[in-house]
Amino acid sequence: MGVMSEKMNSYQDFVALSPDTLPSRLGGLAALKDRIGGDASAWSVREVGDGNLNLVFIVQGSKGAAVVKQALPYVRLVGESWPLPLKRSFFEYHALSRQSQRDPGMTPEIFHFDPGQAMIVMEFLSPHIILRRALIEGQELPRIAKDLGLFLARTLFRGSDLCLDTKLRKADLALFADNVALCDITESLVFSNPYFDAKLNRHTSPQLDGIVAQLRADRDLKVAAQRLKHIFAATPETLLHGDFHTGSVMVTPGQTRVIDPEFAFYGPMAFDVGMLLANFWMSYFSQTGHEADGSRDSMRRYLLNVIAEIWAAFRAEFSRLWHGERSGILYQRALFEDQGDMLASEQALDLVLQGIWIDMLGFAGVEMHRRILGLAHNADFETIENTDVRARCETKALKLGRHLAVNRHRIHSVVEVNRLAERLEKEIVT
């Protein structure tokens, strides 16, 4: 569904906000006035959207502040030449609602949703900063591993047929099936473009030209990436965040919040897990580039620990939910526990977790590639100004990514992946 067809129906009254128009346009909105103070003429408004897609305003009133996020009918980063449906705001709103039920307190509170204006008014998280930025700065945040591991397990488990009434899941799947345009971005930019000479690609050149050519000629890698795309497109096990990297997490030392689920759709459980861990592995390899302000040895150890702990927390919580909340149509107790066969249930749990593990590694692998070879790079590497240093960091991530994608069925444990990352980190890359 293109922008034009949208405008002809539910979005015909859409007008983009600006700092100047926001107070007059939203000044009558009780949900906002009650939170930040009723005198709209005294509001101060800053536009802070630093993502690729949307407008984001911080509105400060006499009593407090709130965030107003509004979609635009095109990709902000590129302009009107790349239209993108406003309806992504609808999907973001519904994903936030479901996530807040499934892991309460881990998403910003929603004050108001205006579907026709593609606008969500929500909690202003302060003094939270974007996790990716904290990691670039070398901050060792104590809570993120546990919080993110639990969030993954709870949202993925509770949105699936392991728990949810399958009628609800199927109706919701149908609702989110229309988030085609954002899935298309992932399908193209993550799974395909990095592996051929696509227009939108870019990479640190000429330093990476050699390995890029190697990867694009790597038959096993390309087949693996396409198999992962197949799984991505046709395994709607649960409602995913869909874009779960360290730029979609806001943190303080004491709090972790997950934001921006506009890519939400029903997909494979392993996708959110793999994308998140990939971004930590990339952060790990990028640390050398940020070492000017002091050694990052401790930060590197911290990051590998975070990865191992996210995975451990995810497994532990997923197992706990398996034993306590497995009320859906899959792996029913009637066939296992109710027949006195506890070990059958454990065997099935091992099988499910093993499947997630294998595919998670694969998704992590392609995520590392697309952030270095594709359109949307990440600040961990991009902020390394010395391109020789940056290219060395990126090369290590590309190599690990290739290893994970191709060998995912044979890799034993996250600890061993971390050891391999350490060996790549110490390797003299030529």
Rounded to a whole number of angstroms, the CA Rg of the chain reads 22
Residue 331 CB, shortest distance to a second copy, in Å, is 5
Q: Which is nearer to a second copy, 108 or 236 (CB)?
A: 236
Least Cα distance to 192 among 375, 52, 44 occurs for 375
Which of 46, 63, 143, 230 is in the footprint of a second copy by CB under 8 A?
A: 230
Is residue 334 a contact residue for a second copy (CB under 8 A)?
yes
Using the rule CB under 8 A, is 80 a contact of a second copy? Answer: no
Q: Does 353 bind a second copy (CB under 8 A)?
A: no
| 184 binding a second copy? (CB under 8 A) | yes
CB closer to a second copy, 165 vs 297 = 165
Q: Which of residues 105-164 bind a second copy (CB under 8 A)?
A: 160-161
Residue 113, phi then psi, degrees to nearest 5: -130, 125
User: What gap in Å lies between CA 385 and CA 205, rounded to an integer?
Assistant: 13
- How many residues bind a second copy (CB under 8 A)? The answer is 52
> Nearer to a second copy by C-beta: 235 or 387?
235
Pick from 33, 128, 227, 315 the residue near a second copy by CB under 8 A. Answer: 227
User: Taking the complex as a whole, how short is the minimal distance between the CB of residue 405 and a second copy, in angstroms?
Assistant: 13
171 binds a second copy (CB under 8 A): yes
Please choose, from the candidates 247, 258, 51, the residue with its C-alpha nearest in 3D space to the C-alpha of residue 154. Answer: 258
CB of 427 to a second copy, least distance (A): 28
DSSP annotation of 108 reads P
Here the tokens at position 44 are: 């101060």
Among 407, 401, 403, 399, which residue's Cα sits nearest to residue 430? 399
Q: Which two tokens stand for residue 53?
A: 């897609």
- Which residues have CB under 8 Å from 274's CB, separation 6+? 359, 360, 361, 362, 363, 364, 365, 367
* Burial (CB count within 10 angstroms: exposed 0-12, middle 13-18, buried 19+), residue 62: exposed
- 223 forms part of the interface with a second copy (CB under 8 A): yes
Return the range that interacts with a second copy (CB under 8 A); candidates 66-74, 110-118, 174-182, 394-402. 174-182
Q: Which residues contact 98 (CB under 8 A, 6 or more apart)?
A: 155, 159, 172, 239
- In the complex, least distance from residue 411 CB atom to a second copy, rounded to whole angstroms: 18
Position 343 contacts a second copy (CB under 8 A): yes
Please state the closest distance from residue 107 (CB atom) to a second copy, in A.
Answer: 24
Closest C-alpha among 177, 175, 155 to residue 164: 155
Q: Which residues bind a second copy (CB under 8 A)?
A: 160-161, 166-167, 170-171, 173-175, 177-178, 180, 183-184, 187-188, 192, 195-196, 198, 216-217, 219-220, 222-223, 225-227, 229-230, 233-237, 329-332, 334-336, 338-339, 341, 343-344, 347-348, 351-352
